[in-house]
Structure 1
């Protein structure tokens, strides 16, 4: 029995020794796995660092030759590689490489802006003999750089296009009044034709540069229209609203996939002048009809003579007040001012 107990103790000791050996081996295996992962990461980072270094060098060379066709896809690859080094920015070699990349990108951005600036006249017309294909490729490079580069080129182009418009229509001369608002819209239509013929191929389609220009045009035009509308007579107001609604519809058809451009909203706060004039005209017509009494119409004795005149008046008012004005007239006549009177009929 004593011998059996001794064997059991021996077996337990050997089991503990074996367990310690297994634990040690497991720890060593884990260390080897961690080392392997670290080596793999180091190899991957080193390889990517080499790729990024070579890409920056090639980018600098292509930029010097203005080879924009090769630059666009290269920038996309560089942007993907750069993502892997965000956590290594404190490493001196990586920081120096990324700083060098920023310098190349900034120089490239300035180079393209200068290229566009030298390719256009001050009237936003392309210079004779300009390389349109190169400009289009350069715009795609700006699109691949970053948001700020893209916005800088977009803002430059919009400002260039609208420079002439601001000079002509934002002054204090006769073109700043409501009677000439249709000429503002005619200017925009002329520009859009130039864009379709000459400028559309210069920019990526998803930029929708013509819509950007139209939106800025609308922002500035609404301001000018609002200033001119203050104190304007009813007829110019109505004419302006009609022209603005027509232009909105034209732009909505042209830019069906873009946010709508608002123009007529600038006049809506001043429509009280038009509505007051219409109310006065209707009141005068009603006064004349009441003064004529219940005289029947010569062609139709069942209808009062005043009915035809009033019907034609209401019809003209409704026609002139369609779109925005119609909504305002309906709100006002159906609200505080009651319903629009109906033509007087005999026996009513």
Structure 2
């Protein structure tokens, strides 16, 4: 009986469990139906929000296009500049709806308005600054200033065209005043070119400085275009009148031009040169070369190179002029005039050294210290340094190689005419004394053979040769630093150093 009651209780329990399960399934079905309705409401809300936003954008776009077209006709560029950017931003939201005819039509109207604005602004600038005729006498109008703001939003080609036309018109007078057949176009009056552009830049700042946005860098662009035009014009006139170019005239023109390039570097940042051919010079590596000392003043101030300079290494000054060579590069093909002049000057310098030695005689033992370096040696390397610095400022290409060849020529001549040519004569030979024969002499006969003055002269020549050897090595290092990297291997003064080492 107890077992039957237990079985009956179990059956009742199973029945209750089944009822609970059935109720749970019904509840689950009811929840699914409720959530399905909620999801539909969520989707409807999302679509409704998107639709409202899109309709608002569409309303803004349609109204903006209408206003844009009306303002364009009335040349209300100040309002157009703000409105156009907003219309373009709103139109981006409709890129996926371009299949709808009405949306596509609005997009085409925006493009048409942009094209019309571009052409209209260019026409306004052409009217204000005609390509042919006199320059506008009045200052800039607010209309053109606002038009520049619109151009910032339009196709970049519109901005470039405005800049190009304005600069061309601004420099039109320059091309007339300094035509090739004009007297002021030649190198002796090159100062007038740079004085003209300085006046023009001041005039531009006063009249039109506020018309163009600052980020356009119009003042610098005018100066850079002037440099390009001047470089082309000077190149053309120098090719035509190459026979009239003298070294003094050439150096005068180069000096004035590099001074002008330096002024540009002080005034402008060079930001408009990013796509140009002129590059910022690289920072040269540090060096202990004594030729580096006070290079900037070497053209005008002579700096005597002493042996002690080797103990005072100085870092080279870092060139930081982005405008270097923007005009002066045109003089490089004519630097052969400068090289020929230095060849002639060095020849005369060596002849003067020879004449001075004959006139003044060897160092006096009672006056000069025995073994002192001949003063002509220091004079020669001072002149070398001056030439090297000057030439490197003009060009670091082939002219530097040509100058190196000249240096080699006169180092050999100095060794032959000044050192070897002034060694005392021996009694046994009519020829000059050589170092080899000197070393073979016995001590006793040497004292008897040479006077005190001759011994003093021999010591001076040996000291001079030693100085020349060390300084020539430094000269070679410095020349390699100055010249273009691709030409470094062509600089080799080993032969000249070997010549001086024969005396040491």
TM-score bracket, normalised by the shorter chain, equals 0.7 to 0.9
CA distance in 2, matches of 1:173, 1:247: 22
Which residue of structure 1 aligns with residue 443 of structure 2?
none
Which residue of structure 2 aligns with residue 207 of structure 1?
216
Which residue of structure 1 aligns with residue 306 of structure 2?
none
SS of the counterpart of 2:210?
Answer: helix
Displacement of 1:36 in angstroms is 1.5
Matched, 1:256 2:269: yes
Distance verdict in 2 for CA 1:220–1:21, change over 3 Å:
farther
Moved more, 189-198 or 230-239: 230-239
Which residue of structure 2 aligns with residue 89 of structure 1?
98
Distance verdict in 2 for CA 1:215–1:16, change over 3 Å:
farther
CA distance in 2, matches of 1:123, 1:312: 58
Displacement of 1:157 in angstroms is 1.1
Distance verdict in 2 for CA 1:309–1:173, change over 3 Å:
farther
CA distance in 2, matches of 1:340, 1:206: 54
Alignment of 1:26-105 (within 5 A): 26-105=35-114
Candidates 329, 334, 341, aligned match of 1:277: 341
Distance verdict in 2 for CA 1:132–1:340, change over 3 Å:
farther
Which residue of structure 2 aligns with residue 239 of structure 1?
252
Candidates 374, 377, 393, aligned match of 1:324: 393
Matched, 1:126 2:126: no
Moved more, 267-276 or 151-160: 267-276
Candidates 163, 182, 188, aligned match of 2:197: 188
CA RMSD of aligned residues (A): 4.0
Return the TM-score normalized by structure 2. 0.58
CA contact (8 A) 1:48 1:81 kept: yes
CA contact (8 A) 1:123 1:160 kept: no
Which residue of structure 2 aligns with residue 107 of structure 1?
116
CA distance in 1, matches of 2:15, 2:379: 126
CA distance in 1, matches of 2:25, 2:227: 85
CA distance in 2, matches of 1:326, 1:317: 14
Displacement of 1:41 in angstroms is 1.2
Deviations 1:161-213 (A, max 9, x none): 23343455565766665445444333322321221121212211221112112
Candidates 163, 168, 180, aligned match of 2:172: 163
Moved more, 154-163 or 176-185: 176-185
Deviations 1:197-248 (A, max 9, x none): 2121221122111211222222333333344555554334322321221111
Deviations 1:57-104 (A, max 9, x none): 222222222223322222233233233233333322121112112222
Structure 2: gaps (5+ residues): 1-9, 274-321, 420-456, 465-504
SS of the counterpart of 2:359?
Answer: coil
CA contact (8 A) 1:53 1:97 kept: yes
CA distance in 2, matches of 1:294, 1:54: 99
Deviations 1:270-300 (A, max 9, x none): 4344134213311221123224434339xx9
Which residue of structure 1 aligns with residue 438 of structure 2?
none
Distance verdict in 2 for CA 1:304–1:227, change over 3 Å:
farther
Distance verdict in 2 for CA 1:78–1:312, change over 3 Å:
same
CA distance in 2, matches of 1:22, 1:201: 70
CA distance in 2, matches of 1:152, 1:131: 18
Return the TM-score normalized by structure 1. 0.80
CA distance in 2, matches of 1:131, 1:333: 53
- Give the number of the structure whose alpha-carbon radius of gyration is greater: 2
Number of residue-to-residue matches in the alignment: 345
CA distance in 2, matches of 1:2, 1:296: 144
CA contact (8 A) 2:336 2:399 kept: no
Distance verdict in 2 for CA 1:304–1:101, change over 3 Å:
same
CA contact (8 A) 1:62 1:70 kept: yes
Structure 1: gaps (5+ residues): none
